[in-house]
Structure 1
Amino acid sequence: MDVTGVKALLFDLDNTLIDTSRAGAEALQMTSEMLKDLIALDDTVSSICDKFKQKLSQEIFDPSAGRPIHEVRVGHWEESIQEAVGICPIPSLAAQCYDVWRLSRLQALRMSPQICDLLSQLRRRYKLLLLTNGESLTQREKVDVVGCRKFFDAIVIGGDHAEQKPCVSIFTLCFNLLQVEAQDCIMVGDSLDTDIQGGFNAGVRATVWISSAGGSVPDGSVKPDYTISTVLDLPDILDQLKGPKKD
């Protein structure tokens, strides 16, 4: 499966190598069960969890503001409880919710044996780099809990740098770390807006979009070179990329 001209593979983490969405859903379920023991109203509990999920999806973390990520996310829970209930019935409830949600999510995160085997095989032939957006502490926790450092020549976390995907600067950093050119690399990820657009911006040899739902590319979005439903299908793409790049 040697690919002439391809020297390095850049992988996203969340929902590419690990199922963060599933882990998040399990964590919300665990938090919901805890809340039901304290607030005996299913509709209220559901509303609190839905509000937190929405706030998390819209989160823009600014480290220069001086608030650590844990404090910010406790704040998400506090606001969600207040919006659903009015007055928080237990002063420490928001912090309890955050602790249950965070620890449950970390416990639910895992890298499948099949993906571990794939990365081990690929690393015999290519340089591998993990490139993940997100707040530094949060992403390091994920990397550590799934034990994936051993599979990569380098790990780059967007929160450690001035710019994240899809900015060219963070891709240039990755190329320099691996001592390769952009055209030597393939970018693999689940986000059209960050992974695929970033790879396109940086001029990589090819972009591979992980679309677990098998969805089509929305109008106006960047078009990936290849689309697969799981990263386990990547070897088929590499077989197609044998030989020099065609103009």
Structure 2
Amino acid sequence: MAAVGIQALLFDLDNTLIDTSGASRRAERQVKDLLKSQYGYEESAANLVIEKFNTKLQMENFDCATGVNVDEERILLLEMALQETDGLDPDHGLATKCYFLWKTTRLQHIHIPEEVKSMLKSLRQSYKLLLLTNGSSMVQREKINVCDCQQYFDTIVIGGEYQEQKPALSIFQKCFQLLGVKPEACMMIGDNLETDIKGGVNAGLGTTVWINNTNLKCEDGAMPDYTVKSVLEVMDILGKKVV
């Protein structure tokens, strides 16, 4: 059954519209190859560096008011990952080289697929479109710029530019205000049960769509109205065809 009464669509960015995880894996391979070919790291050690770096990335939490330089902070995280792996003195130069290789490679492989671009253009003829993404302003703006996202959305909201991010009610209320629509007239589309789906449900959105392409199980308290494998299936939910 198609969703009805929807006037606005809120799209998540990472792993919803763009394959951030895939781009990250490509970047990680480049760093591991560098460590092995030029610095004598064994495969297991190179893998451990990336594992530790990813763990630290998942724990980072930048306050929007502090003006933190994310590049510098992430270089320090990679420096710690290297030191914890090899037990040697900190090597800021190597960490910097590895980090910018990781960052540049990742950005090179971040893009909105052509069929998703067509979908967004088609949907914008009938709905208001808003991009709602968590993360630091600097990191997310870089992705948004490299994907040229501005042309597909009426409004872009980056959680790191506000006091609270998804799943906080306040960030959703900001979206409703910017769009000029009521919560029940909005659909949230995203891949994260906690931030996108629970957040959307708690904010009173009319419909939530969970992008689940890895066959995860739905957690208690996070019951999306629709579960799909691809963001392109939003067209079917809305009963639309790509023009």
**Which of the five TM-score ranges fits, normalised by the shorter chain?**
over 0.9
Secondary structure of the equivalent of 1:17? coil
Q: Which residue of 1 aligns with 2:57?
A: 56
TM-score by length of 1: 0.91
Return closer, same or farther for 1:6/1:64 CA change in 2, 3 Å cut-off.
closer
Query: C-alpha displacement at 1:135, in angstroms?
Result: 0.4
**Contact residue 64 and residue 161 of structure 2 kept, 8 A:** no
Return closer, same or farther for 1:10/1:48 CA change in 2, 3 Å cut-off.
same
Give aligned pairs, total: 238
Secondary structure of the equivalent of 2:77? helix
Q: Which residue of 1 aligns with 2:230?
A: 230
Secondary structure of the equivalent of 2:208? strand
**Contact residue 81 and residue 88 of structure 1 kept, 8 A:** no
Q: Which residue of 2 aligns with 1:108?
A: 109
**Contact residue 28 and residue 49 of structure 1 kept, 8 A:** yes
> Unaligned 5+ residue runs, structure 2?
none
Following superposition of structure 1 onto structure 2, how do residues 69-80 of structure 1 map, counting pairs within 5 Å?
A: 69-80=70-81
Secondary structure of the equivalent of 1:200? helix
Return closer, same or farther for 1:180/1:63 CA change in 2, 3 Å cut-off.
closer
Q: Which residue of 2 aligns with 1:34?
A: 34
**Contact residue 27 and residue 101 of structure 1 kept, 8 A:** yes
Query: C-alpha displacement at 1:88, in angstroms?
Result: 4.3
Secondary structure of the equivalent of 1:92? helix
Query: C-alpha displacement at 1:4, in angstroms?
Result: 5.0
Query: C-alpha displacement at 1:90, in angstroms?
Result: 4.6
Return closer, same or farther for 1:91/1:217 CA change in 2, 3 Å cut-off.
closer
Query: C-alpha displacement at 1:199, in angstroms?
Result: 0.6
Query: C-alpha displacement at 1:15, in angstroms?
Result: 0.3
**One-letter identity of the residue aligned with 1:200:** V
Q: Which residue of 1 aligns with 2:15?
A: 15
**Contact residue 79 and residue 90 of structure 2 kept, 8 A:** no
Q: Which residue of 2 aligns with 1:185?
A: 186
Query: C-alpha displacement at 1:233, in angstroms?
Result: 0.6
- What is the RMSD computed on CA atoms of the aligned residues? 1.7
TM-score by length of 2: 0.93
Does residue 95 (structure 1) correspond to residue 101 (structure 2)? The answer is: no
**One-letter identity of the residue aligned with 1:25:** R
Query: C-alpha displacement at 1:169, in angstroms?
Result: 0.8
Query: C-alpha displacement at 1:221, in angstroms?
Result: 3.8
